[in-house]
Amino acid sequence: MADFLQRDPRSPAFWDERFEREFTPWDRGAAPQALRDFVAAQPPRRCLIPGCGAAHELVLLADAGWDVTAIDFAPAAVQKGKAVAGRHAERVVEADFFAWQPQGEPLQLIYERAFLCALPPAMRPQVAARWAALLPAGGLLAGYFFFDNIPKGPPFGIARSELEELLSSHFDCIEDQPVSDSIAVFEGKERWMIWQRRA
């Protein structure tokens, strides 16, 4: 285990240190299968990827014709994301999820991949409220949710009942599937889920 100076995942410096030292055990190096299947079955949508890291999913979505923006508040993560994104590099933006605003048309989808579990549990209501504020009625929150009860993190797991309580005031769960291609840090503890924003 690497000996890191930065210990607060609420700080960009925490993530900068890990990207700079290439310690990213949450990065599978490619877009996961459930997302690939989802994109293949959907028309292109306007999409946001918060906490994008290396932005592998952005490449999949942009190549499929989606209007996608990937954001991260850590400069080193943005640098890595731009390098991975290649010709789509301008779609990777340094920004704070809680302050970022879409320009033009409203979002149709927010993709969740290790963003909620990257932040301390006390921030979960703030994350859920921001998801709800950014998505109009009918918009989708789709991605991977990490279920675990170990208090140390990141990743910080959540109980299924807590996730349902967190989202149920604004969202309905319309899909919930097991994940067969998890990487080690998430194996056996994540679900592919789609939540639809209620009016």
CA pair distance 120, 157, nearest whole angstrom: 10
For strands 171-178 and 190-197, give the pairing: antiparallel
Digit-by-digit pLDDT tens for the chain (199 residues) are 567 676 778 778 776 787 777 766 677 778 999 999 999 999 999 999 999 999 999 999 999 999 999 999 999 999 999 999 999 999 999 999 999 999 999 999 999 999 999 999 999 999 999 999 999 999 999 999 999 988 787 899 999 999 999 999 999 999 999 999 998 989 999 999 999 999 9
**pLDDT in the model for residue 26:** 72
CA distance 129 to 169: 10
The pair of structure tokens assigned to 51 is: 């906490």
CA 74, chain centre distance (Å): 14
